[in-house]
Amino acid sequence: MKASQSAIMALLLLVSGLYASDASAAVTPLSSCTTISVAGSYQLTRILSAAGDCLKVAASNVTIDLNGFAINGNRTGSALTDLAVARSGLTVTNGTLNAFRTGVNFAKSSSVKIQHLRVLNMAFDGIDVGPNSEVRNTQSLSNAHDGIAISDNTSIVSNLVKGNGNAGIDGGNNCLIEENNVIGNGLTGIGHGINTGSQCSIHGNLSSGNRGSGIVSGKGSTVSDNATTGNGIAGIFAGPGSTITRNDASYNTAYGILSNGESSITSNTASRNRGKGIFGYIGDLLNGNTASSNSQDGFYVTCPASLIGNVAQGNGAAYTLVTSGCPTWNNS
């Protein structure tokens, strides 16, 4: 019996060793800039430098682990590129991309995953990804144009996007923008911190000190639990038919919160903005908001719209209702 058990254990160890060997063999080392034309997993083994493109991905279902190393350029080409051909299932993780024209140029590709990268000093965009993609736990810093440029159905989660020339996060319908720090973008243009298309969920972000607005969203979006401070235009500018709730918009140059109509604006705080606190438009519901110490109006609303249970304190003017037909209840 003991001999039989020993034989079984030996067989299990052998099989385990074979699987480990196969797993190890499945990772292809990368020690130079190259074209990747076969699906699979690749891992960088050293710092790379390039004039022009470095890693050219010519296949789908490719995973590249930078293994903590950097890829440095001369502000031309891309550190990683899909060669402007639609691929899918591309993943890049764990490293630094510095001084190319674009860091990750996968704009034509779908189902891209970017994680744990540091992307900086690009002559154009930091990261470009196509639809159904995800950028998570990544830093995009000091790039000349957009920090992260996205397409539709893309998730941008827990990133630091700071000091880029144009927008921090730019583009895309049906997107998720969640728990990002988007700071000081628009250095060379009127760049917004977060700028999205329609039907997006924009939740739990800090967007501050951007030259444009903190958050600009398209129609039918949900903008919730964000802090937008010290931006050059508005804290939040939401498209028609949006839900704007539990945000804090303060110290912005023009408006705290600006709606484009037919939206639900609830339980927000707008304070110490140099213009108006909350600017509502036709068809809006403004319920349970507080506007305090804004230089102009606490609430400036184009009627018909509904105002219920809002509070205005210490503003240049409390409420200005443009035209007639605004039902008002329990405001103070």
Q: Would you write out the chain's pLDDT as a tens digit for each of its 332 residues?
A: 444 555 444 444 444 454 444 444 599 999 999 999 999 999 999 999 999 999 999 999 999 999 999 999 999 999 999 999 999 999 999 999 999 999 999 999 999 999 999 999 999 999 999 999 999 999 999 999 999 999 999 999 999 999 999 999 999 999 999 999 999 999 988 899 999 999 999 999 999 999 999 999 999 999 999 999 999 999 999 999 999 999 999 999 999 999 999 999 999 999 999 999 999 999 999 999 999 999 999 999 999 999 999 999 999 999 999 999 999 999 99
What CA–CA distance (Å, rounded) separates 307 from 284? 8
DSSP-derived 3-state class of residue 8: helix
- Structural domain that includes position 260: 2-329
The answer to whether the CB of 112 falls within 8 A of the CB of 106 is: yes
Instruction: State the SS3 of 239-300.
Output: CCCCEEECCEEECCCCEEEEECCCCEEECCEEECCCCEEEEECCCCEEECCEEECCCCEEEE
Beta bridge partners of 308: 287, 329
pLDDT at 6: 53
Which residues contact residue 288 at a Cβ distance below 8 angstroms, ignoring those fewer than 6 apart? 266, 267, 308, 309, 310
- DSSP code, position 58: -
Q: What is the pTM of this model?
A: 0.92
Domain count, the chain: 1
Residue with tokens 């690009």: 122
CATH of the domain at 279: 2.160.20
Bridging pattern class, strands 70-72 and 48-49? parallel
Q: What is the DSSP string of 69-134?
A: -EEE--SSSEEEE-TTS--B-EEEEEEEEESSSEEEEETT-BS-EEEEEEEE--SS-SEEE-SS-E
Residue with tokens 């993780």: 93
- DSSP code, position 330: S
The answer to whether the CB of 273 falls within 8 A of the CB of 249 is: yes
- End-to-end CA gap in the chain: 86
pLDDT at 24: 46
pLDDT at 190: 84
What CA–CA distance (Å, rounded) separates 275 from 250? 11
pLDDT at 5: 55
What CA–CA distance (Å, rounded) separates 136 from 290? 33
